[in-house]
Amino acid sequence: MSANIIALLFLFLSTVLAQDAFIGVNIGTDLSDMPHPTQVVALLKAQHIRHVRLYDADRGLLLSLANTGIQVTISIPNDQILGIGQSNSTAARWVSQNVVAHYPATNITAICVGSEVLSTIPNAAPILVNALKFIQSALVASNLDGKIKVSTPLSTSVILDSFPPSQAFFNHSLNPVLVPLLKFLQSTNSYLMLNIYPYYDYMNSNGVIPLDYALFQPLSANKEAVDSNTLLHYTNVFDAMLDAAYFAMADLNFTNIPIMVTESGWPSKGDAKEPDATLENANTYNSNLIKHILNNTGTPKHPGIGVSTYIYELYNEDTKDGATSEKNWGLFDANGKPVYILRLTESGSVLSNDTTNQTYCTARDGADKRMVQAALDWACGPGKVDCSPLLQGEPCYEPDNVFAHATYAFNTYYQNTGKAPESCDFNGVAEITTTDPSHGNCTSSTGGLNGTFPNATAPSMNSMSSDSTSSMFSQSSSLLLMVGILTWSIIFLPTARFM
């Protein structure tokens, strides 16, 4: 490629892609207890997730996403591709039912025509580009083609010899599909959609790829991979794969098609053969990926050209087949509880405000009431939470039940101890959530540590309690009497177990 073309390409990409890259999240639904669409949307809002990708065009979810400002990529499932690729009118009907019916209330911004079609259902390859074209013409007919992009996510397995990136090329036997596909993407200003899984590249590399290189962790300079043709230095698998895709497109003379990563992630749990599917690695990968994307870092070949990326995925999908890892790619469990707390301080708003800092502690539904009461007493006593807002007439008195009162006290304690996960245990009767339990004028985080006890072991002890499950009981302190709802208190640390 001449320097001129490179300069032109850079100009093109930097003007066309001047807008910031975003982080989105994929929503797979293979859960035995799939949350209701309204709960899904509540989680997205709480986490400031502004971009999602669905694997279909589920009506309930699309309706719930209406008027939320969330941008939605929808998909045509692989089992509908053949029908749509063979019939213009089937395609038109699909667009009318799944797009026109929801737009603009639901801000549909892209349609994925199938998923990894070339690698998973090669028999559909001959009609794939037709399917895209038919969908596009239906959008044109509805005057939506300027608003909604059409593409098809590819597996990186269609890119051969991906390292060094400058030598990468598309599997030539797929050229009869890829060349018209790239022409289509170019003429419609759409994206090459790619699913990039450094986890599998690492797993399949037989130790050639260092774990740190897959996880975006700092590498010593001598471990960075250098492309001997371009002398570009690669510090992570993700960027190397993106550049391999840029080079593979250039090999077919397409130099101005931007890339969107429709899937990337890391599993948090695996079976014995998947020792690197861990909470720690999943957290490291996704935290680093999000920072990398939101920073618009770009790749060595195209520095500063942001590549929007959808994390795989929102929920752990417990009913997925296959290895344990298959069920554990999620950021959240079915209750919306984070599987791990992403390390995202200083990286903007998506997923960070809430998973890093906007987590809360509540009394666990279904916990033993007596144990919740004991934990509440501990929080208001030795735990030094100011429980005066729980007094009758004060903002947190209503609803007047032990779970609501305990949630106020647990959350205040949790917020005041810097949200250390171990400060939301209370002998197992508390749990971390992303739902703010504040209501009316009752906000826990303003409670402050205002107890009267200097230390957890300070309250006076006596034997007034009739309970015998613990060796340590305390008489109500003056504060507890003042609060008026607490009669006794078992002394225990939030993480301690009953003996």
Ligand X SMILES: *[C@@H]1O[C@H](CO)[C@@H](O)[C@H](O)[C@H]1NC(C)=O
**Residue with Cβ nearer ligand X (101 or 174):** 174
Residue 173 binds ligand X, judged by CB under 6 A: yes
C-alpha angle 3-299-212 in degrees, rounded to nearest 5? 140
Q: What sign has the CA pseudo-torsion 85, 89, 93, 99? A: positive
Please list the helix, strand and coil fractions of the chain in percent, rounded to the nearest 5, in that order: 40, 15, 45
For residue 203 the two structure tokens come to: 């797993």
- Binding segment (CB under 6 A) for ligand X, from list 33-41, 57-65, 180-188, 452-460: 452-460
- Cα within 13 Å of Cα(434), Cβ side: 28
Q: Nearer to ligand X by C-beta: 107 or 433?
A: 107
Q: Note whether 357 binds ligand X by CB under 6 A.
A: yes
Q: Which is nearer to ligand X, 319 or 357 (CB)?
A: 357
Please give the size of the binding site for ligand X, defined by CB under 6 A.
37
Among 224, 132, 219, smallest CA distance to 177 is for 132
Tell me the two tokens of residue 435.
């739902």
- CA-closest candidate to residue 16, choices 308, 264, 243: 308
Nearer to ligand X, 253 or 471 (CB): 253
What is each CA distance from 138 to 66, 94, 227, in whole angstroms?
Answer: 22, 9, 43
For this structure, is 346 an active site residue? Answer: no
What are the C-alpha distances in Å from 493 to residues 162, 377, 424? 54, 12, 11
Build a one-symbol-per-residue string for 81-100: x at contacts with ligand X by CB under 6 A, - elsewhere.
-------x---x--------
CB 453 within 8 A of CB 378: no
Task: Please report whether residue 393 would count as binding ligand X according to CB under 6 A.
Answer: no
Binding of ligand X by 349 (CB under 6 A): yes
Alpha carbons 144 and 103: distance in angstroms, whole number = 9
Q: Is 189 in the site for ligand X (CB under 6 A)?
A: no
Contact between 386 and ligand X (CB under 6 A)? yes
Q: Does residue 218 interact with ligand X by CB under 6 A? A: no
Q: Among residues 263, 317, 326, 431, which one is catalytic?
A: 263
- Does residue 71 belong to the site contacting ligand X (CB under 6 A)? yes
Q: Toward ligand X, which CB reaches closer, 108 or 203?
A: 108
Q: Based on the residue annotation, tell me whether 317 is a catalytic residue of this protein.
A: no
Residue 412-451 contact track with ligand X, rule CB under 6 A, x = bound: ------x---------------------xx------x-x-
Rounded Cα distance between 26 and 44, Å, is 11
List, by residue number, the catalytic residues: 116, 263
Binding residues (CB under 6 A) for ligand X: these are 48, 71, 88, 92, 104, 107, 122, 134, 137-138, 141, 160, 171, 173-174, 252-253, 291-292, 295, 297, 345, 349, 352-353, 356-357, 386, 418, 440-441, 448, 450, 454-455, 457-458
